[in-house]
Structure 1
Amino acid sequence: MDETVKPLRIPPQMSVYADKHSIFHLVQSMVSSLVIDQPDDPVSYLISLLQRSSVDIPRIMLLGPPAVGKQTVAKKLSAELRAVHVTTDTLLQDQSELSVQAHQYTLTQQELPAELLITLIQQRLTEVDCFNRGWVLEGIPQTRLQALGLQQAGVVPEHVVMLEAPDDVLLERSEGKQVDPQTGDVYHQTFIWPVDDIVAQRLEKGPALSEKQQLAELQRFRCEVTGLRSAYQHVLKIINSDQPHNDVYQQVLAFVRTHHRPRTPRILLLGPPGSGKSHQARLLSEKYKMVDVCCGQLLRSVAADGSGLGEEIQPYLDDGRPVPDSLVLQVLEQRLSQVDCSCRGWILHGFPCDLQQAKSLQESQHQPNRVFFLELTEDVCLERLTLRATDPVSGERFHALTRPAPSFQVQNRLETRPEDSTHTVTHTLNQYRLHTAVLQSLYPDAVHIDADQDPHSVFEALESRLSTD
């Protein structure tokens, strides 16, 4: 092997370009479609995929117990997204051999075999309209077995919505069901009533099951719901349907308009001192293997390595003066350009602290694709910082309220860092508040997270927004 060959350096511009044009998402979508559909002519198939108006073709399943409102939501959703509304009834409407075979089961009130249902769905979803416009699958699957069968057949939704409501509400809705004979739209005297009086006048009482049958259907759903949730846990949203219909629909619509994008994470974590930036950065780094870039620690590390840049930085650290932005940006440029940051992504905290620094970062090759503000009141910041102290013997850090020293002896030897004094913390907080408004204006799409809760809850809030548009 030629030892003079240098390892491949992935330029940071690559991931910036890929994010801007959704390259990773496009490639993932195309490869997934190829593997699932296995076309005879892969090149022509990929060309047809690229010629579609959007790579974000809806693939939605709408699940829930009887009378929860699936049909009403599904019809509005398919109209809004111009997607094909697919139900068990529509699967039986064509005259294919499979549909005729399936129709025989419905005539004798028998349940469709899972294999037959899955074949019908697979056949329908590969037709041109579903391929080009996407689909909303209403009330299917009903069991975990059906869900697993659909997955094996390559029917993989991007969003699964499960509507929920108490049994007494569902029973009441079922009894008051009204149907428009011309459109098939479902209404209810209490829950959903048409605005148009002409529509209201032609409503007819919908087909209703007996209370015993309704309870049996509900019981069946309750037995399967855990398995369904497990099968679709990574794309599932559970929505309470016991609220005004329009509120339910808006929540469903907001969810199905989100998209999970594969991306190289470039995360900027901002917040006042004491908001937990370092702790959250460490948790994210440990779980997702991204590089934890703490600006303060990075400057100290470079100052200690004996390099020319480090020698320039050291006097500022010795005197407690701010390191000039030009030097900080050089250090960050070197670190964020390294292979681990380019491949695994990074999470930066401790920089930027003002508008000029933020603009400099934006003008560099290392623009963040996720910005989080950890929000915390000044009183809580002061409490978190000024009441903490370190044991010089063990190096452990304690807090007067949340983690007091284990003994009187340890308590007596605790030391408070100068930067944790009330005066210093108050000054740092004032500086942060002075610049936070302009930082927020520079990052209008930033996610704001309440940091005044336990660290695990803060981490979950961060984690849930890492790859969702």
Structure 2
Amino acid sequence: MDETEKPVRVPPQMSVYADRHNVTHLVQCVFVFQMLVSDLLIHQPDDPISFLMDELQRISVDVPRVLLFGPPAVGKNTVAKRLSAELRAVLVTADTLLLDQSEPSSQTEQVLQRLKEMDCIHRGWVLVGFPQTRLQALSLQQLGVLPEHVVLLEAPDDVLLQRFQGRQVDHLTGDVYHQTFIRPDDDVIANRLEEGRGLSEEQRLAKLQCFHREVTGLSSAYQHVLKVINGDQPHADVYQQVLAFVQTCRRSITPRILLLGPPGSGKSHQAQLLSNKYKLVDVCCGCLLRSVAADGSTVGEQIQPYLESGHPVPDSLVLQVLQERLSQMDCSCRGWILHGFPSELQQAKNLQESQYQPNRVFFLEVTDEVCLERITLRATDPISGQRFHAVAQPAPNSEVQDRLQTRPEDRTPAVEHSLEQYWNHSAALQSVYPDAVHIDADQDPHSVFEALESKLTAD
């Protein structure tokens, strides 16, 4: 694999040091330092230390890094232009980079080079028109281009087709307006507007279909920093919602959260809720191992036999996979929530020694009876894949009920064994994390989440 295709990783010591000295934001600009080293080699100053210090003083890392995308005619270019002016950031568009005239393989490199230029580093950037696919988004992320805020503008297809028809252009500035959606306040501008060069009906539908094919994958690539905004509103309302989202700030200390608790305590569900709200990376150890086992890598081939046999994966392999994942740029910049590991004393000690220590640890407390009820009464529909629960979420009809299947690990003997194993190691885990917060998980998920959230945001 080419070096440029490898995920960007941050040394583990950097995150720990950054938290301790309140310089976490520097971790988010690793590529800035790479560029400084390049400048050092190019200029070869007599006093390299002073040179680097001067360069760092001129560079502000607390700058906007915004990505807007959406279907054609939704108004993203107009919003992006206004937003860049408001934030005094550099507007970077696919049109200005002439990406349509380049080979797909070089488009990502063009965007990367533009965002590494000094004006983008000093002032920040608003990127629109690229990426257009999940693959392009992942390529940018692997190269260290990580927007702080991503906005998806949405509108119904019939509204978008109407906007195509009412498009108007200011031939002096290139600004795009619309007969009803966006009108200029200045009568002079309004009088010189010309009808925009239109696409055929077939071309319009093709553009919309292309967007619909890619939007799910593109959204998933940015799910931790994504805000979906309804573009079928007055332009001023759309813009204010985008601006309000972009002006939200990240916390000064990047959360590294560990959720512990018996099986059935709700760790996975709470991790998902925290991830969705705070844009953290949800790292489920079991899911991560299955993913690596399926990717065909050397480590995956070593893990696969253990998963097939049902035997535990050796700690050395688990830690190798975890360190690989937690070192990637999204975890270092956004923070993470780990659950499913550690489950016993030595694993916890190994995690602490790996320099990927959590800075927030929560024990979800719940009785065995509640855990048994939550797990043993759930079953899965083999046709739809949907999971139901006899009490909390029963099957919608008898036909679905009759075909539900219970996983072997969800049966009473297996759950009782898992609970016994957890309690055998619980006291040892608490000794490793004496400052952990204990949360009563024997309540509705929303109340548990509120309790977690209050402790997470507390000083």
The two structures have a TM-score, normalised by structure 1, of: 0.48
Q: Which has the larger radius of gyration?
A: 1
The two structures have a TM-score, normalised by structure 2, of: 0.49
